[in-house]
A and B are shown apart, each in its own frame.
Chain A
Amino acid sequence: MTLSVEVSDPRCDPEPPGWSEFRCRHGLYQPWDYELLRVEAWMSRNPPLLVLARYDGAIRAAMAVMVCGSVRANRYALPPRARGGGRGIRLAQVFQPWLGEAGFVVAAGVDAAEGRRLLRELERGVRRHLGIGLAGVAYRNVPLDLVPLVAGRGRLVREVTAPAAVLTNRWRTDEEWLASLSRNRRKNVRRVDRLVAADDTLVVRADAARSDVDGAVLAAMLREHRRRHGRQPFDPRSPVAGAYLDAVVRRTDVHTLTYHERDGRLVAFCLMLDHPVTPFLQFWATLPRDDGGRPHLYFDSHARAVRQVIRDRRGGLAAGRGMFEQKRSLGFAARPMCVVVAPAPVLGR
C-alpha cells in the first residue's frame, strides 16, 4: 500500500477527491466543509490548510492546520503563493477554530499505532509544505483519549483550563431532563419559559436554512459580543466574517435561533450545527443589557437546544468552551482537553 500526504489550500486548490464522503462518514461538523474552509481561509489572518493522508487514494487521516505567521494582527493573510508569503517563523496550530475542538481525525477502523504513524506522516507533510520557518506544531483542544496519538518524547502536554461542555442525553422527555436539574435551576428554566412566552415585544424563530437573516448583522453582533467579553490570550483567530455566517445559516443542516424585537431589530441569536449523534451549539451573541438585551435568553437558547436533542433522540449536545458553570447547571459535563506542542526537531518522530 502506498501512503501519500497532500496539502490543500482552500483558497486556491479544488476540493480533494473523496473529502465530502470522508467528512460525512466520520460525522465531522460543518466547519470541516471545504466550501466553508474556503470562506474562512480568505477571511483570516492565519488561514487554514487541509492536510490529508491517503492509502492508495483512500483518505485515512486529516488535519485542519492554521498557519500562524508573523503577519500583523491588523491584516488578513497574503494571497496564496504571494511574494513574501512564505517567509518568517511560523507555528502550525491544529484545531477547529470555530468549534473549540481538535483539528485532526483518523479514519474509523485505524488502530492507535497506525493512527499515530499517520499523524506523524501528516506532520512531515506540513513541514515539507511550510519549509524551514516552521517552529513546531501545536495541537489545541485535544480530548484526553486522543492525547496518546499526538504526545511523545520531546513534546509538551498541558491540560487547558476551560473544558468543553458536553451533555449526554439520558432522557426521553424534557420533563425528565428538568427533574434531573437542581431545584433552583429547574425553577429558573420554568421562569425563563414564562418570561419569553409573555414577552410580546420579542419574536422568536428557530429553523434550518434561514434565508431571512443577514450574516453581516449576525457577524457584527458576534464581534461586539466577543469584544465585551475580552479577547482570549494567544487567540490566533480573526473576527468572524459576515460571509462565513451567511454561508453557515443558509445550510439545511444548521439551525438558527433568533430573537428579534417586533420592529425587526436583532436581540440575540444562537447557531446549532445538526449532527446525527451530537449536535453542536456553535455561536451565541446578544445585545448588551442596556441596549435591549435580555439576560435570560442565554438559558432559553440552551434549554431549547436540549429539548430539541431530547425530542430528536440524539445522543447528546456539545456546547463548546466558556460559561461552563452555567452549562453544568443545565446538565452538561466537563470534557477535559489538552494542548500538545511538538517543536520542530521532533516533528514526524
Chain B
Amino acid sequence: MAHSPTVSRVASGWLWRAAYRRAVSAAFRTVPLYRERWALDGRTDPVLVPGRTGVDGGAVPAAEVQRRLGDLVPLAGGSREVDPLRGLGPVVAMDRLVGRGDLVVVLDDERPGELAGMPVGVRGRVCRVDGLGSAADAARWAAVVVGSAEQLGRMPDEPRARLRIVPRLELADLTDADGERGLLHDHQLGFLGALRRCGGWHLDWPRVYARETDAGLAMTLLWQRSPCFVDVLVGGGVKGVVAPCPTHGTPVVRT
C-alpha cells in the first residue's frame, strides 16, 4: 500500500525525534559533561531528573564545549579530535549539488589533503587558496569550491570562472546569504546542512538535530559518539526556528 506524503513526513519527524532522544539518553548515561549538567542542573525536552529544568533547556554554550573537550569523550573512551569537515559528503549530495566525476575542493590553509566520506563517484580534496588552480584541473567534469566568504574573496580570478563556488556560512550569517547555494557550517560540529533550490536552509536531518531554546538554536550530532555533541549552542547562541520545508517536508532552519 502506498503511503501518502503526509504519513511519511510524520513518520520521519517521529524517527528524527526518537533519534534525538536516544542521543540525549546515551549522552546522559556515558558522557561526563552532559551527566554533570543535566543531573545537577537539569534540562527540558526531555526532563531527565524530575524537578530540574536547568538553564536554556540544558543547552551547552559552544565556549564551554571548546573548553571541556576531554569531558565530551564517553567513559568507554574515544577520540577528542574535532573534525571541522565532518558531514561534508551528505550535504554536498543534497539537491545533486555534485555528481559523478565531480571534484569537491574545500579551502583550508591548515589541513591540505584528500577528503574521505564523499558520495559515490565524487572526489574530495582540501587545498590552500593558492593551490586551487591545479586542484581544479584534476576534475573530470566540474570542480565545486567550498570556502568561507573571506577565503572565496582571496581566490584569484583565473580559476574562478570555471568553478562552481559554494559559500560556507556559519549559523549567525545565514541572513547574509545571497546566492542560490550555500553550506551551513560550524567549526566544531562540521557541516550541518545546505541551502537548497527551494530557498530553505535544510538540515542534514538524518545526522543533525536542531532544537529551539531560550539561548538560541542548539545542534546535536545524532550518530557521533566521540567527541559527543548534544544540544550545542553553535555560534554562541543564535535565535532561530526549526520548521518543515513546505516543498520537501524535511526540517529547515530560519534565523
Contacts and interface: CB of A to CB of B under 8 A. Distances in A.
Interface of A: 11, 39, 42-43, 45, 73-76, 79, 216, 219-220, 223, 238-239, 241-243
Contacts, number: 47
A73 B35 contact: no
Contact of A42 (B30, B40, B67): B40
Interface stretch (B68-76, B117-125, B188-196): B68-76
B29 A75 contact: yes
Given A42-B35, A239-B32, 16 more contacts: A43-B32, A43-B39, A74-B74, A74-B76, A74-B77, A75-B75, A76-B30, A79-B48, A216-B67, A216-B68, A219-B71, A239-B75, A241-B35, A242-B68, A242-B71, A243-B40
A12 to B, nearest CB: 8
B32 A242 contact: yes
Given A75-B29, A76-B29, A216-B67, A242 B36 contact: yes
B28 to A, nearest CB: 8
A243 to B, nearest CB: 4
B75 A243 contact: no
Contacts of B39: 11, 42-43
The 3 closest A-B pairs by CB, nearest first: A74-B76, A42-B39, A74-B75
Interface size class of B (residues with CB under 8 A): 10 to 19
Contacts of B75: 45, 73-76, 238-239
A221 to B, nearest CB: 10
A223 B71 CA distance: 11
Nearest to B41: A243
Contact of B36 (A11, A43, A79, A220): A43
A9 to B, nearest CB: 12
A284 B69 CA distance: 22
Nearest to B38: A42
The interface residues of chain A, by DSSP majority, are classed as: loop
B74 A241 contact: no
Question: Which of B49, B75, B77 counts the most chain A CB atoms within 10 A?
Answer: B75
Contacts of A73: 75-76
A79 B30 contact: no
Contacts of B68: 216, 242
B206 to A, nearest CB: 26
A91 B176 CA distance: 60
B73 to A, nearest CB: 10
9 contacts: A42-B39, A43-B32, A43-B36, A73-B75, A73-B76, A74-B77, A241-B35, A243-B36, A243-B40
Nearest to B29: A75
B226 to A, nearest CB: 11
Contact of B32 (A11, A39, A241): A241
A348 B121 CA distance: 71
B74 to A, nearest CB: 7
Contacts of A241: 32, 35-36
B251 to A, nearest CB: 30
Contacts of B70: 220, 223
Nearest to A42: B39
A293 to B, nearest CB: 18
A43 B40 CA distance: 9
A39 B32 CA distance: 12
Contacts of A216: 67-68, 71
A239 B32 CA distance: 9
Nearest to B50: A12
